[in-house]
Amino acid sequence: MTRLVFWAGPPVVGRATTIRRLAGEVCVEGEQAYRSAVASFDYELAYSSLSTQFYYSWRAQERPPGFDAVLALLRSAVALVFVIDSQCERLEANATALQCLRADLRLCGRDLDRIPTVFQLNKRDLPSAVGAEELSRRFSTERCIHLPTVATSGA
């Protein structure tokens, strides 16, 4: 089973909405995994709400209790989906979240540039959305694609 890990961009970026669209109406809290299939491709959607809580609630440098489960998700990921909030006012928050992801992958002995990554450019329908080309330039890895989306409408 292929494990796709949805990683937090800034809070309220649309990750939970996207997962609900892909996995059905599910509770998207805590450490979860949902199995699904597209055509003959079986996959597991995994995510951790603790990563969002840590990056935007804790002020300490050390990881909170239970963060080992988050690192275990990253160790087992075959591919990552990093959700970006396309709004201009969220660019810095996106960059901070991506830096944190890179640091956590290093803790796992992994390199983001070596992992297939989808950058989900969400909230494309909002008036303050930065151009997709600009977001693709700012948020990129050696093995990535960029996917413009509007999670609330399923587009």
DSSP letter assigned to residue 88: G
| Dist CA 40 CA 26 (whole Å) | 22
User: What's the rounded Cα separation, in Å, for the pair 1 and 44?
Assistant: 7
User: What is the per-residue pLDDT across 48-103, written as a single tens digit (0 to 9) for each?
Assistant: 655 554 444 434 456 666 677 778 878 888 888 898 999 999 999 899 888 888 98
Query: What six digits make up the tokens of 76?
Result: 């087992």
CATH fold of 2-148: Rossmann fold (3.40.50)
Segments in the chain forming alpha helices (H):
15-23, 49-57, 67-76, 91-107, 132-138
**pLDDT at residue 1, as a whole number:** 55
Domains of the chain: which residue ranges? 2-148
Spatial separation of the C-alpha atoms in residues 129 and 121, rounded to whole Å: 10
Q: What is the pTM of this model?
A: 0.79
